[in-house]
Structure 1
Amino acid sequence: MKYLFVLALFASGALRAAEFPANIVRLIPKGYEVLSYAVGQLNDDNLQDYLVVVHHPVDTRLQPSLRPLLIFTQNPDGTFRLATRNDTLVMRADEGGQCDPFTDSEDNGLAIKDRYFTVQHSVACGQHWTDYITFHYDEKRHDWLFHKEIVQSWHLNSDPGGDALELDPVHVTKANSKHPITFEAWRRDQ
């Protein structure tokens, strides 16, 4: 039985590795490895593209790594090219208090839908909050632009007769169409 479990685990890992294009692996910056990725349509060419978060092999709260988010678009011949990169969008392991805001919750990660993508951060240990940042593909500019950021926090209610959680007001930052911000130029402190 133990042998079957190991075999199944190996097979699922091999399948996942096989799904990840070797052409993209060759384009990963030296010294980095893949932390997370999502596959979907990120632009207007109807080809499958990849969002890839990379980090250094040692990436802990005590030794946090930058986590660049790379956008790889597919060429008509099936190969991929690095379209753009942002080194500050994905939070580092030490930016969530007690928890890693990108990897410690099942709600974290990357989501793609119809040329929109969202980077999802959340923490529910000590502090409780979410931070979702969304970008969309602009056909005129042939680039991804900031769409909105939604941040919410909550805390446990100490009142025994009240709800278990008290939500703080949701903070939404929407894009300013007069001053668009590209994916590459987006910074957390803007």
Structure 2
Amino acid sequence: MKNTAFLLLVSLILISCNKTTKEKVIDKSKTNTDTLTINKTKKTNDTIQKHQTFNDTIDDLNENLKLFVPKDYSVISIESGNLNLDEFTDAILVIRKNSEETTSNMDGGKPDKRPLLILLGQKDGTYKLAYKNDNAVYCIDCGGLFGDPFTGIAIKNGYFSVEHGVSGGHHWEDIITFKYNKAKDNWFLYKTHYVNYKLNDGNDENADALVADYDKLQTVKDFGEIPFQKFNIYNEKGY
């Protein structure tokens, strides 16, 4: 009986020690993973001197599109659709300087511009540059403390929109839409829609939700006829 009790006690001690050892190994592994993550983040941050784009560089481009990307530039947005209402698929590219994260200086009046290219699809599968505008997309630091404001491009049946917005302590959205004019074979500013949001400070079920604080919609009646190539997002009038 004594021998049985002794063996049971020894077994319990061994199981306890083994469990403790495994827990220590797991904790050590977790610590190593955390350390690697911190070091990796630190290394990444060391390369970011001023600003960081929210738009990843697109490398897997069609060879016919690569022809329109100059040296020291890369593509951050590409959208396909019907821009001029013909039977061929068109595209819009937004490109940026590879150095913009460190060289763009909006506060100093020297933003690194991001060209927007309207490319029309051809019968043989290639593209033709219709227009390029350096002032249709905001720069990487045009959102101030809230970062890169450019969020994307949308295309639909002769219309295309350039979309911006920031979120955080300040939240706004700005959608600029152009429409194709077949008679003039060009795209003209169709409308702009800017919305500034604030937190709802009421006591209802939507408390703390974002609600529109300022909503401004403008059309041709407000700004007149502005062709795409003359549009200037940096100018309050748009040209």
Normalised by the length of structure 1, the TM-score is: 0.80
- Change in Cα spacing, 1:180 to 1:56, as seen in structure 2 (3 Å) is same
- Which residue identity is paired with 1:49? D
Q: Which residue type is aligned with residue 93 of structure 2?
A: V
Judging by fraction of residues, say which structure has more strand: 1
Name the structure 1 match of 2:94.
53
- Please list the CA deviations of residues 74-113 of structure 1 after superposition, one character each: whole Å capped at 9, or x if unmatched: 11221111110111111111111222101xxxxx201111
Aligned length: 166
Q: Which amino acid counterpart does residue 139 of structure 1 have in structure 2?
A: K
Change (3 A) 1:87 1:178: closer
Q: For the aligned residues, what is the CA RMSD?
A: 2.0
Question: Counterparts of 1:55-134 in structure 2 under 5 Å?
Answer: 55-60=96-101, 62-64=102-104, 65-97=112-144, 98-102=146-150, 108-134=151-177
Q: 1: distance between equivalents of 2:223 and 2:163?
A: 26
Runs of 4+ in 1 over 4 A off after TM superposition: none
SS at 2:117 equivalent: strand
Relative contact order: is structure 1 or structure 2 higher (C-alpha 8 Å, sep ≥ 6)? 1
Deviation of residue 177 (structure 1)?
9.4
Q: Which moved more, 1:162-171 or 1:117-126?
A: 162-171
The C-alpha deviation readout for 1:103-125, integer Å capped at 9, x for no partner, is xxxxx201111111111101002
Deviation at 1:59, TM superposition (A): 2.5
2:226 counterpart SS class: coil
Q: Which residue pairs with 1:181 in the alignment?
A: 226
Deviation of 1:145 after TM superposition, in Å, equals: 0.7
- Contact kept? 1:24, 1:81, Cα under 8 Å: no
Bigger CA radius of gyration: 2
Deviation at residue 175 of structure 1 after TM alignment: 1.6
Q: Percent identity?
A: 34
